[in-house]
């Protein structure tokens, strides 16, 4: 029933003709929330270590990722011994290499079986979307394997593909394109190569790597460099021509592209040709990730696909990663690192700077987009220099990290890096595994339900316009710090029905806006909705990047309750915008919670979900407290007692029961004091994370 309703909703938005699509991104059925989970990534010495496997039994991670379980070397192939090359020693023969491979494979199979026995559900290993390494003149690395192809015959090798030199990504002038650098120090005396996923010979090699992983018993693969495609090779050029002809009529190709279906060589062009070139690369990666899943699934029944490459642009979940299980956001930016909580950095003697680290924006994309993919947050303790004492994770940060995924991501995970030596990790996994399992029904198959929506389409990024992302991030920060329930909407999830759910909608400097999106926003205000437009240059271009005359966007600007010139930070200063009533009681206090005391209300963040948009019978309100000190030498949490929440209810509904669920604690039934449209509850205590589940019934 629900699926059918959503399908109909989306139909109105995907073009029914074969002309330029109204939604320039791919459309798909909305995938609701999933159960969050625990995750370890470790490239250290795990293979053959009995202690390592034994340690997994306490709080076994749902997902584990290693490097050593890839039987071949993912870049150099199964014949390369870099140590011998560097020592000037002769390399082993094809026969010896095959024997070594056979033994390695047995150890990998044994590890995978032991990890499963310990309770790990999904065991994955490292591969790369595009990298190989070798030296063609000296026949080293992958070329040595290519020369000895027959020696590996027993391992289900495909027919030998063309020379690996022909697999490379190409620049517009036909020369080699290298991500990072060809002279990568880690590869010396060999070179690093970047290959094209659209090249059938590269695909043959990659397929063998993936199939071998599946045959050894791996449940899936982690695909590094999951966005590194910037290729103009013959395969890409031909593919792009086909891509354009599939998306546009001949008349449109004549009008919009001057009849020229070549790829955009200038990455700062900002035009439709650039957007289509980038969307083509996104779709090429998507197809390749689907191929990887298919190769593995043909052997294993199903196969987990976990690419890297969200890096603060989690909206890639709408394009290249939309069918992946999980995408890594490698959060390495900033002076304060990426672990969630309160970060302090020493500046000069006795002087510290303080920052609230949170990853809400990345996580909020997942339920906003509604694709299958969720976020895995890999946080650094500062970058490039790590500062573990002040910016490293601790037991509270581990709980907070998983809380972010659970509350804001609609699933996904906080990555625990290298568990050896971090004794806090296993108890956190143990507690959170139990909590997620106990409440699986309250996590899975839910739909975001907020008071405010930020419409943040991904399309402008492909035109090279990143202002939407930046402005949406600031808007989310400002509004959620007020204690409001804030959702994102994207081009795949905006519709008149979706907009109608929100009391306030923010359009964060969306210069590229489709006519249909503009009409939906105007229709929303006609039906009584309040629209905040950030940027008086909003809607100056249409979905194809063409300039839109002022008179054609005047109606939208006039429909807005307010048009702010810059960013939403102005909201705080002048209070010009009438906001919905926040969830958190204002008496919880603002500012300075980290100094101790009962304040710190502005460090609370909330998100809510319903079991059904059309007929809600259950509302879950997740509460996350960021008043947690980061750093391995710290353990302070600014807990709240008697925290009063004012929970807005879906129209026409009343709450009949409220239960508080918190990790490591018994469930607590909460008394409800009802006011029209609102249920008030008081949490006896909130440490880092809890959620309230309300049962609903029609008020009449
Ligand atoms: Zn290519």
- Per residue in 262-285, pLDDT (tens digit) is 999 999 999 999 999 999 999 999
Tell me: the pLDDT tens digits for 626-679?
999 999 999 999 999 999 999 999 999 999 999 999 999 999 999 999 888 999
Q: Indicate the SS3 state at residue 389.
A: helix
Residue position matching structure tokens 């809510």:
608
CA of 163 from ligand 1 middle (Å) equals: 15
pLDDT of residue 20: 85
CA of 575 from ligand 1 middle (Å) equals: 52
CA of 105 from ligand 1 middle (Å) equals: 32
Residue position matching structure tokens 């081009």:
491
Torsion 224-227-231-234 (CA) sign? positive
d(CA 420, CA 79): 31
Tell me: the pLDDT tens digits for 571-616?
654 566 889 999 997 665 544 444 444 457 889 999 999 999 999 9
CA of 466 from ligand 1 middle (Å) equals: 25
Question: In whole angstroms, what separates CA 631 from the centre of its chain?
Answer: 25
CA of 152 from ligand 1 middle (Å) equals: 28
pLDDT of residue 4: 43
CA of 197 from ligand 1 middle (Å) equals: 7
d(CA 224, CA 219): 16
CA of 236 from ligand 1 middle (Å) equals: 4
CA of 221 from ligand 1 middle (Å) equals: 23
Least confident range from 53-62, 297-306, 595-604: namely 595-604
Tell me: the pLDDT tens digits for 463-486?
999 999 999 999 999 999 999 999
Average pLDDT over residues 28-34: 97
Residues 117-122: contacts with CB under 8 Å, at least 24 apart? 118/53, 118/54, 118/56, 118/57, 118/60, 119/56, 119/57, 119/60, 120/56, 120/60, 120/61, 120/62, 120/63, 120/64, 121/60, 121/62, 121/63, 121/219, 122/62, 122/63, 122/64, 122/219, 122/220, 122/304
Q: Who contacts 278 (Cβ-Cβ below 8 Å, separation ≥6)?
A: 462
Average pLDDT over residues 322-329: 98
Angle at 323 between CA 318 and CA 329, to 5 degrees: 65
CA of 237 from ligand 1 middle (Å) equals: 7
CA of 281 from ligand 1 middle (Å) equals: 9
CA of 60 from ligand 1 middle (Å) equals: 40
Mention the CATH class of domain 583-698: mainly beta
Q: Is 194 left (phi over 0), alpha (psi -120 to 50) or beta?
A: beta
Average pLDDT over residues 177-187: 95
d(CA 217, CA 110): 9
Same CATH topology for 452-574 and 583-698?
A: no
Confidence tier at 353 by pLDDT (50, 70, 90): confident
On the question of pLDDT at 220 being above 50, the answer is: yes
Note the CATH number of domain 39-443: 3.20.20.80
CA of 260 from ligand 1 middle (Å) equals: 19
CA of 239 from ligand 1 middle (Å) equals: 9
Q: What percent of the chain is modeled with pLDDT above 90? A: 87
pLDDT of residue 569: 66
Report domain extents, the chain.
39-443, 452-574, 583-698
Tell me: the pLDDT tens digits for 399-421?
999 999 999 999 999 999 999 98
CA of 330 from ligand 1 middle (Å) equals: 26
Instruction: Please count the other Cβ atoms lying within 10 Å of the Cβ belonging to residue 374.
Output: 28
Q: Which pTM was predicted?
A: 0.95
pLDDT of residue 45: 86
pLDDT of residue 602: 86
CA of 171 from ligand 1 middle (Å) equals: 9
CA of 305 from ligand 1 middle (Å) equals: 22
CA of 225 from ligand 1 middle (Å) equals: 16
Question: In whole angstroms, what separates CA 349 from the centre of its chain?
Answer: 39
Confidence tier at 3 by pLDDT (50, 70, 90): very low
Radius of gyration of the chain (CA): 26
On the question of pLDDT at 55 being above 90, the answer is: yes
Hey, which CATH number is domain 452-574, 3.40.30.10, 3.30.420.40, 3.20.20.450, 3.40.50.880?
3.40.50.880
Q: Is the peptide bond before 189 cis (omega within 30 degrees of 0)?
A: yes
Average pLDDT over residues 683-695: 98
């Amino acid at each position: 029933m629900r699926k059918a309703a959503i399908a109909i909703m989306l139909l109105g938005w995907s073009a029914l003709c074969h002309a330029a699509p109204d939604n320039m991104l791919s459309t798909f059925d909305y995938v609701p929330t999933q159960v969050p989970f625990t995750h370890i990534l470790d490239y250290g010495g795990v293979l053959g270590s009995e202690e390592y496997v034994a340690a997994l039994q306490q709080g076994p991670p749902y997902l584990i990722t290693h490097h050593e379980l890839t039987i071949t070397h993912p870049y150099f192939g199964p014949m390369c011994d870099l140590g011998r090359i560097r020592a000037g020693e002769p390399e082993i023969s094809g026969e010896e290499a095959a024997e070594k491979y056979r033994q390695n494979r047995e150890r990998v199979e044994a590890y995978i079986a032991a990890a499963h026995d310990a309770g790990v559900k999904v065991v994955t290993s490292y591969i790369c979307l595009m990298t190989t390494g070798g030296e063609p003149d000296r026949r080293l690395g992958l070329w040595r394997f290519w020369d000895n192809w027959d020696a590996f015959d027993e391992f289900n090798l495909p027919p030998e593909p063309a020379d690996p030199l022909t697999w490379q990504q190409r620049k517009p002038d036909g020369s080699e394109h290298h991500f990072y650098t060809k002279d990568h120090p880690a590869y010396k005396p060999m070179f690093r190569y970047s290959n094209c996923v659209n090249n059938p010979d590269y695909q043959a090699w990659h397929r063998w790597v993936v199939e071998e992983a599946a045959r050894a018993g791996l449940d899936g693969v982690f695909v590094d460099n999951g966005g590194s495609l910037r290729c103009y090779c013959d395969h890409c050029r031909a593919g792009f021509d086909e891509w354009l002809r599939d998306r546009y009529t001949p008349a449109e190709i004549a009008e919009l592209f001057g009849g020229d279906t070549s790829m955009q060589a200038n990455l700062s062009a900002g035009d439709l040709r650039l957007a289509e070139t980038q969307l083509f690369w996104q779709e090429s990666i998507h197809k390749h990730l689907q191929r990887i899943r298919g190769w593995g699934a043909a052997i294993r029944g199903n196969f987990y696909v976990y690419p890297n490459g969200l890096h603060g642009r989690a909206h890639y979940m709408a394009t290249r990663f939309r069918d992946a299980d999980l995408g890594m956001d490698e959060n390495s930016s900033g002076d304060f690192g990426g672990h969630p909580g309160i970060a302090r950095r020493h500046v000069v003697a006795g002087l510290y700077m303080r920052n609230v680290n949170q990853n809400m924006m990345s996580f909020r994309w997942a339920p906003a987009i509604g694709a299958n993919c969720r976020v895995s947050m890999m946080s650094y303790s500062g970058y490039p220099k790590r500062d573990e004492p002040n910016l490293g994770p601790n037991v509270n940060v581990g709980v907070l990290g998983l809380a972010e995924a659970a509350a804001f991501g609609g699933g996904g995970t906080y990555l625990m890096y290298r568990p050896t030596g971090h004794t806090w990790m296993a108890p956190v996994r143990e507690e959170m595994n139990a909590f997620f399992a106990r409440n699986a029904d309250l996590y899975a198959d839910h739909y975001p339900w907020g008071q405010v929506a930020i419409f943040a389409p991904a399309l402008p990024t492909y035109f090279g316009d990143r202002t939407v992302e930046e402005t949406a991030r600031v808007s989310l920060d400002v509004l959620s710090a007020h204690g409001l329930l804030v959702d994102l909407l994207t081009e795949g999830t905006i519709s008149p029905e979706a907009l109608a759910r929100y009391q306030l909608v923010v359009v964060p400097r969306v210069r590229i806006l489709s006519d249909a999106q503009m009409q939906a926003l105007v229709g929303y205000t006609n039906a009584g909705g309040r629209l905040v437009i950030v940027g008086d240059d909003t809607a100056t271009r249409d979905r194809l990047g063409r300039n839109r005359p002022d008179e054609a966007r005047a109606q939208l600007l006039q429909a807005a309750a307010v048009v702010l010139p810059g960013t939403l930070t102005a909201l705080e200063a002048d209070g010009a915008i009438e906001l919905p009533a926040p969830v958190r009681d204002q008496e919880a206090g603002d500012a300075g919670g980290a100094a101790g005391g009962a304040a710190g209300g502005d460090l609370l963040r909330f998100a809510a979900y319903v079991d059904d948009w059309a007929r809600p019978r259950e509302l879950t309100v997740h509460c996350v407290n960021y008043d947690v000190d980061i750093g391995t030498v710290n353990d302070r949490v600014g807990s709240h007692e008697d925290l009063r929440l004012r929970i807005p209810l879906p129209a026409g509904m009343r709450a009949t029961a409220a239960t508080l669920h918190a990790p490591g604690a018994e469930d607590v039934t909460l008394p409800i004091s009802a006011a029209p449209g609102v249920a008030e509850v008081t949490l006896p205590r909130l440490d880092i994370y809890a959620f309230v589940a309300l049962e609903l019934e029609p008020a009449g």
